[in-house]
Copies of this chain bind each other. A is one copy, B any other.
Amino acid sequence: MTVINPEEPKNVFRRKAKKWVRKTCSVEVVKKRLPIISWLPKYRSEYFIQDVIAGITVGLTAIPQGIAYAVIAGLSPEYGLYASLTSGVIYVIFGSCYNVTVGPTAILAAMTAKYVVDYSADFAILTAFLSGVFMFIMGILNLGFLVEFISMPVISGFTTAAALQIAAAQLKSFFGLSGSSGNYFAESVKNFVFNIGTIQLWETVLSSATIVMLILLKKMGEGCKRTDGFFKQMRWFISLSRNAVVVVIGMIIAYVIREMFERDTLAVIGDIGSGLPKFGLPPFSTVVGDQTYNFIDMVKVLGVQCVVIPFVAILETIAIAKAFAEGGRIDATQEMIAVGLCNIVGSFGQSMPITGSFTRTALNHVSGVKTPAGGVTKVLLLFVALTYLTSTFYYIPKASLAGLIITAMFSMIDYQMFANLWKNSIKEFMLMLKTLSFCLFYGLEYGIIAGILIEACMLLYNVARPTVEVNVQKGEKGDLMVVTLSENVSYCAAEHLRQRIMKATSLDNTHVPIIVDGANLKKLDYTAAYNLMAIIKDLDKTHQILLLNFDPEIKKLCVYMETRFESKFVYAASPQELTDIFPKDV
């Protein structure tokens, strides 16, 4: 048995523990974890008006979007407003990025939909709670880096699939068809084809008109800024609030047709629960039909979604925070904690899962928000809407919402990236297509998991096949075969390295001296080191061999395995310098 020195690892642990304690218990940390402590005392009166304006613009979008996303999730519309309400308050306290607005998003809504449709709304609220807990823990444990393992092609395939699925589900309302809309893309398309005969003229006209209006209103605002003159400012404001504008117009039309002409030509969203959400524990058990589901049953129903939804939520919020951090660094940990808490607290107030919203954050930004206090105005507006406007919302036509949702979905697809990948990286293009197809045919949650796993496997395969350059250098004092290990060699690349070197040396009959250049190796694990030494042992019988510029740590490991090869490790500026070392007569 070899003598063991237990000092080393122990010391490492102690040092790490000390560092961790010092890191977690300090005033700095409290400030970091409660950003409101930093910004509130510095609040200036001139911020106020800007925060209010931004809050109103965002609120005017949050209301129609909230209703639309509740519809996507298969929930009654008020749930979309509940979701922005509680989370808005919590984010003001814990949010680290003043531009970011949190609330329901189309993707999270789409991922929740099938549980709401097949079971009940309680599943959406429990999902919010579980996602919140998961995100909070991920934040505390500093595991945010995990989202870095989702590459842009995978994200792009996933969001495109989500957009297609959401748009497909709206085809029913868009054309006023009978039948159900379907839980996933293929089903929605199938139902659309089957029910195409029940198409309604006026629904189709209204939804198409909504899309045209949205495009025109968007164009109207182009070239206008918040800081322009009054008319331009109005154009800018109306353009930004276009979601609210088209819904209000649709609402007026539906009202006129229903109340004046007493016809129900247009389907409307109908009764909405009025007032604030009921506060209480999230639904840890629920009854669907005549079956009771306890907590464990509910978690089993949700399955892999319990992990995928918070993961997607983190992905969305960090991407948004990064995009609007304006060059500053973002605190991913704090974002996860904040959005996690928004979900946890939200689930006590009937909230569906929420995260950072891209459109509303962008809106907040262009509206010139100054501090997270902008969120307060938004919350007040939602409060008013829930208290006084729910009877008005009764008249929102489903066709208007369908037009609104479909328009939003088109902007979620990144056509530029498709073209770019196709031109420059067919492999990644295929990866995107694979993720997309998996998402469309097996569901969003399995699609993103498949995409991540496929790419991780591709990455591992690449790691297992590092570049090993072999070339024979002609020199005045004789030839040299130089084997350059240009990339790290891991355990899974050990066999590849062996084959590369063996092949190169078996082709050469002249037995020129071999130099293995390891200057680029940063690490070498046991398996790779063992294999390398086995190769050296084999080659040593037939060739002269030297190991050039290996890292001292790596050398130590190799020499420990084969002490007699210590003298083979040499250091020099270039392989040519070593020519003298080899005796001529071999």
Contacts and interface: CB of A to CB of B under 8 A. Distances in A.
Query: DSSP majority for the A interface?
Result: helix
Contacts of A459: 460, 463, 490-492
A149 interface: yes
A445 interface: no
Contacts of A426: 8-9
**Residue of A9, A151, A464, A502 ringed by the most chain B CB atoms within 10 A:** A151
Contacts of A557: 424-425
A272 to B, nearest CB: 42
A525 B151 CA distance: 9
Interface string A2-28: 101100110000000000000000000
Interface string A486-516: 1110111111100100100000000000000
A428 interface: yes
Given A487-B488, A523-B462, A4 B423 contact: yes
A223 B561 CA distance: 25
A466 to B, nearest CB: 8
Contacts of A419: 1-2, 4
Contact of A502 (B9, B329, B420, B467): B329
A492 to B, nearest CB: 5
B327 A538 contact: yes
A488 to B, nearest CB: 6
A462 B421 CA distance: 26
A420 B4 contact: no
Nearest to A534: B322
A9 B425 CA distance: 10
B152 A425 contact: no
Contacts of A496: 148
Contacts of A151: 491-492, 525-527
Given A151-B492, A527-B153, A422 B4 contact: yes
Given A327-B538, A520-B486, A425 B526 contact: yes
A419 B560 CA distance: 11
A467 to B, nearest CB: 5
Nearest to A554: B424
Nearest to A494: B148
Contacts of A417: 526
A415 interface: yes
A335 interface: no
Nearest to A528: B151
B520 A464 contact: no
Contacts of A494: 148
A519 to B, nearest CB: 10
Interface string A400-423: 000000000000000101011111
Nearest to A417: B526
B522 A486 contact: yes
A520 B488 CA distance: 11
Counting from the closest, the 10 A-B pairs by CB-CB distance are: A2-B419, A151-B491, A152-B527, A151-B527, A424-B557, A148-B492, A149-B492, A148-B495, A9-B426, A428-B526
20 contacts: A2-B422, A5-B423, A8-B426, A148-B494, A152-B527, A152-B530, A327-B538, A329-B499, A420-B560, A423-B560, A424-B557, A425-B525, A428-B526, A455-B491, A456-B456, A459-B463, A459-B491, A459-B492, A463-B463, A487-B522
